[in-house]
Amino acid sequence: MDKTNIKYLQESLKKTEMISEGIGDFLSKGASTIKKSVVEPVILAWNEFIKKTKGVIQSIISSAVSMLKIPGDLITITIPAQEKPRMPIREGAIEAIKGNYNEALTCKYIVEKNKVPIKITIIHESVLNESTGNESDGVVVVDLNVDGKREVSTIDSVVNKWDMRLREEAKDKYADFFKAINIGSRDMAQYLMETTLKEDGLIVAVKIKNLSFQEGAEFKADMELTIEKAGREIIKKYSLKLYGNPEVNVWNTSVPSLLVYLLGPEKKAEILAAFDQDKQFSDLVVKARRVNVEKNLAKKVSKGMSIDDAVKKFRYKFSDKFKAELEIAKKNGGLSQLISNKRMERGIYREKMNPTSAKILYQFLDKYFNDPVYKKKIIHTILKKIGFLDKDTNFLMALVGNAQIKAGKSKILDRHPELNLDDSKLIYDGGTGLRIVGPTGKTILKFAIKEGEKKAVASMISFRGVKPYELGK
C-alpha cells in the first residue's frame, strides 16, 4: 500500500465522520418529536457501528504506516475522535471552555514557534460528551508532512472548535474572554519554551487533554511535554490554570457537605443536628423559603397567568394575606415592585443566616483541627481536593486581570503558595469568613459563606505574594 492509498483511507475516514455527524444530529433533533426511549437506543447503536468501522480503517492505516515508515520519513496522519450526540453544556461552561481553549491555544503557539516539528496527541471532546476521557478516543498527529514541513492544521481545528464554543456561550463578552485566554496562552507557551531551552532541552512532542468539563478540582496534567535532552527523552507534566486574580475559587459546596467530606460520613448526623438545633437559623430558613416561593408566584402572575392558576403550580399553602397583597399589586400595576421587595426581603434573611453557617463550620473544624489524627486527615483531604498532592505534575498559572490585559502581559506563576499545613492554624474572622493560615502568617485557604438557606460555602486558595516568573530573563 502506497501513500496515495493511505490518503484515500484517511479521506474515507473523514467522510464516515461527516456522515456520522449528520445522522447523529438528525437523531438528536428527532428527540423532540420522538420518544426519548426510542431515540437513545438508535443513537447508541449508530455510535457503536461507527466506532467499529473507524477502528477497522484506523488499524489498516496504522499497519500501512508501520510498513512504509523508515527513519526520517514522518507522515502526517489525522484520526478524528469519535463524536457522540452533543450534550447540553452544564453550569460553569464558560470556565471549562476557557480551560480547554487555553490548553489548545498554548499547544498551537508552541507548535508555531518551536524550532523543530512536534508530534501532537490531543485528547479532546470526551468531556463535552460525558465520556470517560479514554486516551484511545483522542487525535494523534505526527506534525510533519511528506515534504518535512511543519503543519498546524489539526491543532488549528481544535483551537477553532473551542473558539466557536466560546462565542456561542460568551456572546457579547467574547472579546473580553478571548483577550485573557490569548495573553495567558501566549505567555504560557513562551514560559514552556524558555524553561526547556534553559535546561538545554528541545520539545519534540506535546500531549494536551481537553478534559476541563470533568467534575472535581483534582490536580491533573492538562499538558505533557516530551523533551529531548542529552540524547534521551523525558516527559514533563503541567497543570495549566488561567485566572483573573490571585484568589482562586476551587471548591463550591454546602457547609454540611464540606464538613462531611473533611471529617467523614460518620459525623454527618452530628453536623446536621447543629443546624437543626439552632432555632433562630431554622426560623430564618422557613421565612426565606416562604418569601422565595411568594416571589416566584408573583413572577408567574406578572407573565399573564391568573392568580388561581398560578397557585395550582405550587405545592405550597399561600396565606390569604399574601394572595390579597398580590391581587392589589396586580390591579395597581405593582407586580414588579412586589417581586423586587420579596427579593430584598429574602436577601435580608439569608444575610442573617450566613454568620450562623460560618460559626458552625468553625466550631467543627476547630474541634477536629486540634486533634492530630483528624488534622492529618483534614490536611490530606484539602490538599487532594485543591490538587497539591500531585508532586509529579508541574503547576503553571497565568493571571490575566484587567491590569494585565491593558499591559498585554500576564503574570506567570510556576510555584504553589506556602502549603505547610502541618503547622497551619484555623482563623475565624467573626463574621462569615474563615482562613487557614500557614506558619509564617500567610493565608493559604479562605472559606466564604454565602446564599443563606443553602448553607453554601466557597473555598478559595490564595496566591498572593507568590513571586511570578519573569518572561524573557
Kindly report, residue by residue over 326-355, the tens digit of the pLDDT.
999 999 999 999 999 999 999 999 999 999
| Residue 243 buriedness (CB in 10 A; 0-12 / 13-18 / 19+) | buried
Residue 74's pLDDT is: 30
Query: What was the pLDDT predicted at 359?
Result: 92
pLDDT for 333 equals: 92
pLDDT of residue 68: 37
What parts of the chain have a pLDDT lower than 50? 1-4, 6-7, 27-39, 56-91, 124-144, 212-219
User: Which residue from 241, 191, 236, 190 is spatially nearest to 388, judged by alpha carbons?
Assistant: 241
Q: What distance in Å separates the CA atoms of residue 51 and residue 291, rounded to the nearest whole number? A: 52
Q: 212 and 274 in contact (C-beta within 8 Å)?
A: no
Give the phi and the psi of residue 444 in degrees, each rounded to 5.
-100, -45
Give me the pLDDT at residue 405, please: 92
User: Which pLDDT belongs to residue 16?
Assistant: 57
CA distance 63 to 57: 10
Distance CA 310, CA 187 (A): 55
Residue 129's pLDDT is 38
Question: What is the residue whose three cell numbers read 435580608?
Answer: 348
Phi then psi for 425, rounded to 5 degrees?
A: -130, 150
- Predicted confidence at residue 86, as pLDDT, reads 33
* Angle, helices 36-68/3-30, rounded to nearest 10 degrees: 170
pTM of the model: 0.64
